[in-house]
Amino acid sequence: MAPEEERTKMTKLKRYSAEFKTKVALEAISEALTTVELAKKYDIHPAMISGWKSPVAFERKVA
């Protein structure tokens, strides 16, 4: 396949709702499952969970 064809067949980035991010972040904060286990459960990259977890944890401390 030519390089220009590969570029046109790239998939769109997935967008996640704030509710989904919060749900996953709260699960990560509860530490019932590891970040890697949660990533497999929701089919997302572990780094995304870490990024979502920080603001939620901060909000919980402030509130």
Domain of 30, in residue numbers: 16-62
Q: 6 falls in which pLDDT band (50, 70, 90)?
A: low
pLDDT at 9: 67
Tell me, yes or no, whether 8 lies in a domain. no
Query: Which ranges of 1-63 does DSSP label H, i.e. alpha helix?
Result: 3-8, 18-30, 35-42, 46-62
Q: Is residue 6 part of a domain?
A: no
One-letter amino acid of 26:
L
Contact 35, 62 (CB under 8 A): no
User: Scanning the structure block, which residue is given the tokens 């967008």?
Assistant: 15
Into how many domains does the chain fold? 1
User: Do residues 5 and 32 make contact, with C-beta atoms less than 8 angstroms apart?
Assistant: no
Predicted confidence (pLDDT) per residue in 22-60, tens digit: 999 999 999 999 999 999 999 999 999 999 998 887 777
What is the pLDDT at residue 4?
Answer: 58
- pTM confidence score: 0.71
Q: Are 35 and 49 within 8 A, CB to CB?
A: yes
